Structure 1
Amino acid sequence: MSKLTEAANGVYVISVTPFDETGAIDWDSLDRVTDRYLEAGADGLTILGMMGEAPKMTADEAAEIVARVIARAGGVPVVVGVSAPGLAALKGLGLKAMDTGAAGVMVAPPGSLRTDAQIRGYYAMVCEALGRDVPVVLQDFPLVTGVQISDEALGAIIDDCPSVVMLKHEDWPGLAKISRLRAAEAGGRRHISVLCGNGGSFLPEEMARGADGAMTGFAYPEMMVEVVRAMNAGETARAHDVFDAYLPLIRYETQPGLGLAVRKHALWRRGWIASPALRKPGAGLDRETAAEVDRLIDRQARRLEEIG
């Protein structure tokens, strides 16, 4: 499998990890949801991310998921989340994933980092531990990590660490950050790919600011595929029309603490996974919440019919 580069673009769907009601990994559903993501037009997949319940996995389970999805993807790039409290675990999973055929690894900063110097030093250590041949995706997600990566720290990491080839942009508000990054590149800084998260909440605006696509796990990845295609084709009105049809469900899914359960419920309703179960600690939707999600999905379907 080819490795991730600064030219990466399109939609890299963050995959859920399906479980059955006992908490065991549902391997058949993992195969099926992988197939459905690719059928929806995904250019790549990202596994063991925060919304893939990676912290709930054993090391053996994580390695088996990596091998299973890479084999199933059939050459489509697979990025593996390897964030961990210590560098030893990060390096172990990262190198194993690359040996298995991963296109690159994704690393979020630990919540203990506070200063620009600490953040810059951390990513220097990560890149040194993994080696210069391992492409790294820097996940900038302060709403979850609590780590604020300034423009100056991000620029220094890009300058210092050639193996950082992509920014997973999830700062919020963060549209101006994309503009400043692209302006710095116009001024001579090395170009890196920018794929955006946050459930696709700001995807049309992010594309307009210079993002290369999306890396997130909204339950309807075809929305992201169509919005990215339309924006790249200059069909801005079409992109916003499609996005607006999905926006009520996007809004509901981005609720902190509830989003993954909403996402899994929608994927279960679509038949992509056999159960909406989360591995403990974690709970599914109560009856009233599930009914609200179902109502949004039904309204979304009607709106999509209206706009064609």
Structure 2
Amino acid sequence: MITGSLVALVTPMKTDGSVDWDALNKIVDLHLEKGTDSIVAVGTTGESATLDPTEHCQVIRAVVERVAGRIPVIAGTGANSTAEAIHLTAEAKQAGADACLLVVPYYNKPTQEGMYQHFRTIAEAVDVPQILYNVPGRTACDMDNHTVLRLAEIDNIVGIKDATGDVVRGKALIAAAPEDFAVYSGDDPTAYQLMLAGGAGNISVTANVAPAEMAQLCAIARNGESEAAELMNNRLMPLHEKLFMESNPIPVKWLMADMQLIDYGIRLPLTVLAEQYHDEVRAALKASGV
């Protein structure tokens, strides 16, 4: 089971929108140095929606090659087309990804049975560990715990990223799921609470700018140190909050560029963070002690 701090890695881009491969290597190296437990490549934060299929697979392969087996790599391969998700998942497996992250189909709003059949079909088509991803704020479609538990019975569906921020619901899922089924938080502000309740880790946006701190927080929370985890989370809360002042990954990419980790590139329809938010985001970084 992959555990701890799993960064939802940005895809660095130059100001013309092209992928910045040199910067990608540098930020992968940063996470290896700072103790990140796993890298999630080309998820929502990695702008999967605007990378074409070739670029999508190239970024996954580049991350896998740079990591070179030192930590697990999880590839974002979800789509609202089952056939496309199968294609991306197969390509990620061939590239050497350790697991794949598959989002609930967006826009077309399938039923619970439709979600079950979608994920079951992908799991049967590609023999690689697969992690479900429920983020109703993005997809306009919410996969309920009953459907997750049905899918958990499939051998290579090994976990879920729950980005609802509903800790009570997450705790209920942890209690009901098989012991080897991993429940990850996808909500930075509440992730420590889910880990204290038995969650496997946190797929984190904040870890892009605070990798060492998020790795430490996840380790403390998974060790059951509730008071220390709450204190550290409170320290990081300004970042958790301000990194969502505009749609993710707008604020985190801007802050990383301000920190000179990447360039300011981002793809339309997303735009560079509005100027009126710059000082607030900088202040959040300072307040967090990063």
TM-score range, shorter chain: over 0.9
Note if 1:238 corresponds to 2:222. Answer: no
Uncovered stretches (5+) of structure 2, i.e. residues with no partner = none
Aligned to 2:158: 165
Deviation of the 1:245 alpha carbon: 1.2
Encode CA deviations 1:254-291: one digit per residue, 9 max, x unaligned.
23x43312101222233321x13211221112322112
Matches within 5 A, 1:120-135: 120-130=116-126, 133-135=127-129
User: Which amino acid letter does the alignment assign opposite residue 202 of structure 1?
Assistant: T
Deviation digits for residues 120-156 of structure 1, max 9, x if unmatched?
Answer: 22211221222xx211110011111122212211111
TM-score, structure 2 as length reference: 0.92
CA shift at 1:14, angstroms? 0.8
Q: How many residues align?
A: 286
SS in 2 for 1:230: helix
In the TM superposition, what whole-angstrom CA distance separates every residue of 1:15-48 from its partner, at most 9, and x where no partner exists?
Answer: 1001111111111111111111222211110011
Partners of 1:147 and 1:292 in 2: how far apart? Answer: 32
Residue 272 of structure 2 corresponds to which residue in structure 1?
A: 284
**Secondary structure of the structure 2 residue equivalent to 1:79:** strand
Task: State how far apart, in whole Å, the 1-side matches of 2:219 and 2:196 are.
Answer: 12
SS in 1 for 2:158: strand
Tell me what 1:115 maps to: 111
Q: Does 1:193 find its partner at 2:182?
A: yes
Runs of 4+ in 1 over 3 A off after TM superposition: none
- Counterpart code for 2:233: F
Deviations for 1:64-98, whole angstroms, at most 9, x for unmatched residues?
21111111112021111111232232222211111
Counterpart of 2:170 in structure 1 is: 178
Aligned match for 2:147, one of 153, 157, 164: 153
Q: CA RMSD in A?
A: 1.7
Distance 1:227 1:74 in 2: 25
Q: 1:176 to 1:247 in 2, by over 3 A?
A: same
SS of match in other structure, 2:45: helix
Measure the CA separation in 2 of the matches of 1:232 and 1:215.
14
Q: Distance in 1 between matches of 2:249 and 2:58?
A: 22
Q: Secondary structure at the match of 2:266?
A: coil
Shift of 1:190: 5.3
Partner Cα separation in structure 2 for residue 86 and residue 295 of structure 1: 41
Structure 1: give runs of 5+ residues left out of the alignment: 1-6
Matched residue SS, 2:204 = coil
Distance 1:107 1:269, change over 3 A: same
Q: Contact between 1:113 and 1:119, CA under 8 Å: does it hold in 2? A: no
Aligned AA for 1:294?
Answer: R
User: 3-state SS of the aligned residue for 2:132?
Assistant: strand
